A and B are shown apart, each in its own frame.
Chain A
Amino acid sequence: MSLMSSTLWPYVALVLVGFLPNEVWRWTGFILARGVDESSEILVWVRAVATAVLAAVIAKLIFFAPGALAAVPLSVRITALVGGFIGFLLIRRSVIAGVATGEAVLIVGALMFRP
C-alpha cells in the first residue's frame, strides 16, 4: 500500500477514473477514423450522432445541474438556455451574444426566484 500513499492516491484516481474513461473515446475514435474518407456517407451519420450526443450532454447539464448551478431553479436554467439560443439568433448570429444573453437571463432569474 506504500504506492497508494495519501499524496499519490489522488493522482492514481485521476488517471484511473478521470483520464482513462474519458480518453478511451478519443482513442477509439482515432482507430475507427482510419480508412474513413472525408466525403464518405458514414461520416454524415457520425456527425449527426456527435451533434445529438453533445445535445444530450447539454440537456443533462441543465436538468441535472452540477455544484452551485443546482441551487438555481430548473425553470430558470431552462429559460436561460432558451434565452441564449434566442440571443444568438437575434444578435447577428454571434456566439458571444448568445452566451451573454443566456448568462444575463440566468443571473436575473436566479436573483428573482431564489429558492
Chain B
Amino acid sequence: MVRAMSAPPIFNFPSYTAAWLGGVRSAWLSVYAYVLFGTYIGIGALAYDFNFSLVWVTASTLLVWAAPAQVILISTLGGGAQLIEVAIAVGLSSVRLLPMVVALMPVLRGPDTKAYQLLLPAHFTAVSMWVESMRLAPQIPVHRRIPFANGLATGYLVSAVTATVLGFYLAARLPPLLTAALLFLTPVSFLVSIVRNSNLMIDRLALIFGLVLGPVLAYRDVELDVMWAGIAGGSIAYVAQRVRGAMR
C-alpha cells in the first residue's frame, strides 16, 4: 500500500522530441493502448457490417477520435437514420469532451504557450488521453507537457487505427459474442479509469450521480439527457464538497 501511495518519479525530458517519444512510450505501456485496440477492432467490424469502406472508417477514427461517437455514427448512419438525428446523437454523446478540454488545457499550458500549440491537444482529447494526461502531466515540467500529451495521443491513435483496419478485415469471422465483448470494452474501461482517477469525494459523488441520472433522464425521454445528467450530477457533487468543507 505504501508503494501505491508514494510519489511517482518525475519525468524530465531533455528535448521536445524526447517528451513526444516519452508520450508515445507511456501510451504503449499503459492499458489504454490495448483497450483501444480491442475497442477499435469492434468499431472496424461494425463499420464492415454496415457496409462502410475501410478508408471511411479509418478517416472516422482520425477525425472523430471518440469511440462512443463513432459507434453511434456508424450504427445510426448505416441504419438509415435522418442526418439530423445522427448529428444530434453524435453531439450528445460527445458533450463530455467540452469539460474535459476545459480541464486539460490549463494543465498543459505554460506562461509562454501560444494558443495554436493547444489546438492539436484539444483535438486529441479523448477519455484515454485525458485520463493519462491529467494523471501524468503534473509530474512533467510545464514546457514539456504539450509534446508529451501529443505523443500520448499519437501512441493511442496508432493503436486505434491499426485495430480499425484489422477489425474491418476480421469482421466476417468474428463471432457475435466476441463483438459484444469488444463493444463492452468502452464502458467498462471508462468506468474503471474514472474510479482510478477519483481520489477526492467530489469525483466519486460526480461518478455516482452521473451513473444514476444518465439512465433516469434517458428513460424519461428528457432531451439532452447526457448533458443535463452531467451538469446536475457534477453540480450536486461540487455543492456537496463545498458544504462539507464549510462544516469543517
Contacts and interface: CB of A to CB of B under 8 A. Distances in A.
A19 B73 CA distance: 10
Contacts of A15: 63
B68 A84 contact: no
B190 A29 contact: no
A61 B206 contact: no
Per DSSP, chain A at the interface is helix
Nearest to B197: A51
Interface of A: 10-11, 13-30, 32-34, 36-38, 40, 43-69, 71-72, 77, 80-81, 84-85, 88-89, 92-96, 98-99, 102-103, 106-107, 110-111
Interface residues of B, number: 103
23 contacts: A13-B77, A13-B86, A17-B77, A22-B91, A23-B63, A26-B123, A28-B101, A29-B105, A30-B122, A44-B202, A47-B202, A50-B230, A51-B237, A52-B206, A52-B210, A54-B194, A55-B206, A56-B229, A61-B187, A68-B176, A95-B189, A107-B177, A111-B177
Interface string B204-248: 011111111111011100000111011111110110010000000
Interface of B: 4, 31-32, 34-35, 42, 46, 49, 52-53, 56, 59-60, 63-64, 66, 68-73, 75, 77, 83-84, 86-88, 90-91, 93-107, 109, 115, 118-119, 122-123, 125, 127, 176-177, 179-181, 183-196, 198, 202-203, 205-215, 217-219, 225-227, 229-235, 237-238, 241
Q: Which 6 A-B pairs have the closest CB atoms?
A: A55-B210, A29-B101, A53-B230, A56-B214, A49-B234, A52-B233
Instruction: Give the secondary structure class of B's interface.
Output: helix
Contacts of B52: 10
A84 B146 CA distance: 32
B238 A29 contact: no
A55 B115 contact: no
Contacts of A88: 192, 195-196
A23 B103 CA distance: 16
A111 B209 CA distance: 31
A55 B234 CA distance: 10
A24 B94 CA distance: 9
Nearest to A43: B103
Contact of B123 (A14, A23, A32, A59): A23
